Structure 1
Amino acid sequence: MILAIDTSLGTSVAVVDGAAVVFREHAVDTRRHAEHLGGMLERALDGRRDRIELVVAGMGPGAFTGLRVGIAAARAAALGLGVPCRGVASHAGVTTGSAQVTTDVRRRERAWSIVIDGLVADGPHLAPADAVPALDGEHATLERIDADGVDAALLALAVARGAAEVEQALYLREADAVPSAGPKRVSQ
């Protein structure tokens, strides 16, 4: 069995046994991942702990905090269960078919990937929300899916079909925080 966790958009947890989805739960809330994960994991693992062989983490693209919560939870679950943890691009959790998948990564930008048979073939890339490129050539006939969620069950199934491993979180932009220049003067 595979336990899969994704927090790139909302929160999604699933358990897959072969091709059968035995547990699946989603929360659309994009700001309360940690609050949802505990209960979801408890329900997902109920009576299944000893049968989990792999934990899959959705690695984004997504917002920094959301991704970190899901990746940390997946790694902690794998450690606690004594099984390996594997990262997969979250866009593989949107469709089992072929499409141009886009997700909102805030700041009026969308991440996009080419997904072929449920596996990420190209991407993710970043573009202004109103300028995601139209596809041409061999991909011109692909439909565009503007996803508002990721299904952790589809991530687990993508791993079973040979999805490429992703080792680092896919933030797509450099951090914009800067070190402090020192204390600010508060009096004159």
Structure 2
Amino acid sequence: MILAIDTSLGTSVAVVDGDDVVFREHQGDARRHAEHLGPMLERALAGRRDRIELVVAGMGPGAFTGLRVGIAAARAAAMGLGVRCVGIASHGGITEGTAQVTTDVRRRERAWSSVVDGLVVDGPHLAPADAVPPPAAAHAGAPRLDADAVDAALLARAAVRGAAEVQQALYLRDADATPSAGPKRVSQ
């Protein structure tokens, strides 16, 4: 069985056993990941703990805090269960088909990826919401999916089908907060 966790948009948790989704839950609240995730994981793992063989973490793109909550939870779950944790791009959890997938990353911008048979083949990239390019020529005619949720069950299936592993969170833009340049001199 595979436990998958994604917090790039809302909070999504799933347990997949082969072709069967044995647990799936999603909360659309994009700001309370930590509050939702603990109880969702408890329900997901009930009676299944010793059968989990892999944990999949959605690595974004998404907001800093939301991604960190999900990635930390996935790594902690894997460590506690004694199994491997792999990270993959969250856009792999939006469709099992072929599409240009976009997600809202705030500030009037969208992250976009080309997805073929449920696997991210290009991206994610960042663009102004009104300037997301059309699907690549190789995928001309593919629909554009403006997604507002990631399905952790699809993320688990993408991992099984060989989705590229991602080692670090996909933020796509620099942090809002920056380290201080040091103490300021006070003049009197």
Would you say same fold, with TM above 0.5? yes
After the TM superposition, which of the residue ranges 23-32 and 126-135 deviates more from structure 2?
A: 126-135
Q: In structure 2, what is the Cα distance between the partners aligned to 1:184 and 1:170?
A: 37
Q: 1:96-116 CA distances to partner (integer Å, 9 max, x unpaired)?
A: 000000000111110000000
Q: Secondary structure at the match of 2:130?
A: helix
CA contact (8 A) 2:6 2:13 kept: yes
Q: Once the two structures are aligned, what percentage of the paired residues are identical?
A: 80
Corresponding residue of 1:153: 153
Amino acid at match of 1:63: A
Give 4+ residue runs of structure 1 displaced > 6 Å after superposition: none
Q: 1:120-172 CA distances to partner (integer Å, 9 max, x unpaired)?
A: 01000000011101124222201000000000000000111111111111000
Does residue 7 (structure 1) correspond to residue 12 (structure 2)? The answer is no
Corresponding residue of 1:26: 26
Residue 175 of structure 1: CA displacement? 1.7
Q: In structure 2, what is the Cα distance between the partners aligned to 1:157 and 1:27?
A: 20
- TM-score, length basis structure 2: 0.96
Corresponding residue of 2:107: 107
Q: In structure 1, what is the Cα distance between the partners aligned to 2:53 and 2:39?
A: 21
Corresponding residue of 1:17: 17
Residue 26 of structure 1: CA displacement? 0.1
Residue 184 of structure 1: CA displacement? 8.5
- TM-score, length basis structure 1: 0.96
Amino acid at match of 1:106: R
Does residue 172 (structure 1) correspond to residue 175 (structure 2)? The answer is no
* Aligned residue-pair number: 187
Q: In structure 2, what is the Cα distance between the partners aligned to 1:68 and 1:45?
A: 21
Does residue 130 (structure 1) correspond to residue 127 (structure 2)? The answer is no
5+ residue gaps, structure 2, are none
Amino acid at match of 1:20: D
